[in-house]
Amino acid sequence: MLGENLKFFSLQFNITKKWKKIFIAIFLKEIPIFRPFTTKTQKEELLSKINNYSNIEKFIIEIKNDKINDFCNDNDGGILIKGATINTKLYINNLKKYFIKYQAYTEQEINDKNFKIDENFFTINKLKFKKLIFTKGYKEKIEGLFSYLPFKLAKGEMLIVEIKGLNLKEIYNRHVSLIPLENSKYYLGGTYEWNTLDTNTNEWAKKELLKKLEKITNLNYKVIKHKAHIRPATIDREPFLGEHPQYKNIFILNGFGTRGISMAPYLSKKILDYIDNKSNLPTYYDIKRYENLYNHSNKKGTIK
């Protein structure tokens, strides 16, 4: 999915082939994903699906009948599929510098006091825009013009752990993801919580993650870092794209949940083509599917 969507990546101006090569060389790291078989029945079902759907084979590297690693507890083998990771922090920082170079980036606080809607344009601190796309993540639900949309925010917690001697070369996916970093460190995540939506870390989440880690390996570990974030998930698990039902030329690109890396490039192209009248939005992404919620909502939303 990720590899296919990268070619659709589009922003306010064209990114050259040279930039794409730089992206792949510096920010993108191909790494296989290992999904262990938890039961023999699961293994048989998967092999049956592979036989019935030939297009699946191009994503499969190997069907393993033994352990992926001497220190992992996957005695029944598993499936090794194509995957990749992206250094998002490094990528965003470099992309920001790229935009600044071409005078295509500015930082402005947007609120009810400095945001004005005129007939033909919008004003933010004296800067004028003809069209706006809001990409505020979970904050859109809390305070935004699109807060009427049925988000289903989900808190997630993750750990950075040090596991000396594991030497895992693959992403290990079994109820959690264990992703190799550097110097014997691994990303371990994540949890799901729908009731308490804050960015405070919790001991129960840490214990839950470590309990799942202990099912993967018996090696000793050390917790280096514990973080919490809020995912902008939606009630129907489909993203929110489209134009505001009242304020024309104000658009939204949101609701990716845990799929931001894989879906954002493809859907960025979709919303830009829609704005330029090149194509319609798929109905399952278009926020018109929830237009009735806006019409019957007392709270129209604010700009903050």
Domain boundary among 53, 88, 123: 88
- Joined together, the tokens standing for residue 193 give 């919580």
Q: Are residues 42 and 139 in the same domain?
A: no
Q: Are residues 147 and 7 in the same domain?
A: no
Q: Are residues 84 and 111 in the same domain?
A: no
Predicted confidence (pLDDT) per residue in 213-230, tens digit: 999 999 999 999 999 999
Does the global pTM surpass 0.75?
A: yes
Rounded Cα–Cα distance for residues 178 and 184 (Å): 12
Can you give the pLDDT at residue 8? 39
What is the sign, positive or negative, of the torsion defined by CA atoms of 4, 87, 205, 151? negative
- Joined together, the tokens standing for residue 59 give 């994503």
Can you give the pLDDT at residue 51? 78
pLDDT of the chain along its 304 residues, tens only?
333 333 333 333 344 556 677 777 788 889 999 999 888 888 888 888 877 777 777 888 888 888 888 888 887 889 999 999 999 899 889 889 988 998 989 988 888 788 888 878 899 988 999 999 999 999 999 888 999 999 999 999 999 999 999 999 999 998 999 999 999 999 999 999 999 999 999 999 999 999 999 999 999 999 999 999 999 999 999 999 999 999 999 999 999 999 998 899 899 999 999 999 889 999 999 999 999 999 755 455 556 5
Can you give the pLDDT at residue 11? 39
Can you give the pLDDT at residue 231? 97
Q: Are residues 84 and 123 in the same domain?
A: no
- Residue 171 covered by a domain: no
Within 10 Å of residue 180's Cβ, how many Cβ atoms? 19
Can you give the pLDDT at residue 12? 35
- Residue 211 covered by a domain: no
- Residue 33 covered by a domain: yes
- Residue 275 covered by a domain: yes
- Residue 68 covered by a domain: yes
Range of the domain at 268: 106-151+236-295
Rounded Cα–Cα distance for residues 82 and 48 (Å): 19
Q: Are residues 127 and 33 in the same domain?
A: no
Can you give the pLDDT at residue 6? 37
- Residue 203 covered by a domain: no
Name which of 260, 302, 267, 261 is nearest 287 in CA terms. Answer: 267
Spatial contact of 83 and 261, defined as CB atoms under 8 Å apart: no
Q: Are residues 15 and 125 in the same domain?
A: no
Q: What angle do CA 3, 285, 14 make, to 5 degrees?
A: 50
Q: Are residues 75 and 7 in the same domain?
A: yes
- Residue 229 covered by a domain: no
Q: What angle do CA 12, 115, 129 make, to 5 degrees?
A: 30
Q: How many CA atoms lie within 13 A of 281 on its CB side?
A: 25
Domain count, the chain: 2
Q: Are residues 31 and 138 in the same domain?
A: no
Tokens 């980036």 correspond to 105
- Cβ burial, residue 78 (10 Å; 0-12/13-18/19+): buried
- Residue 114 covered by a domain: yes
Can you give the pLDDT at residue 9? 38
Q: Are residues 33 and 69 in the same domain?
A: yes
Q: Identity (one letter) of the amino acid at 90?
A: L
What residues form DSSP beta bridges with 60? 81
What residues form DSSP beta bridges with 223? 161
Q: Are residues 72 and 18 in the same domain?
A: yes
Q: Are residues 13 and 126 in the same domain?
A: no
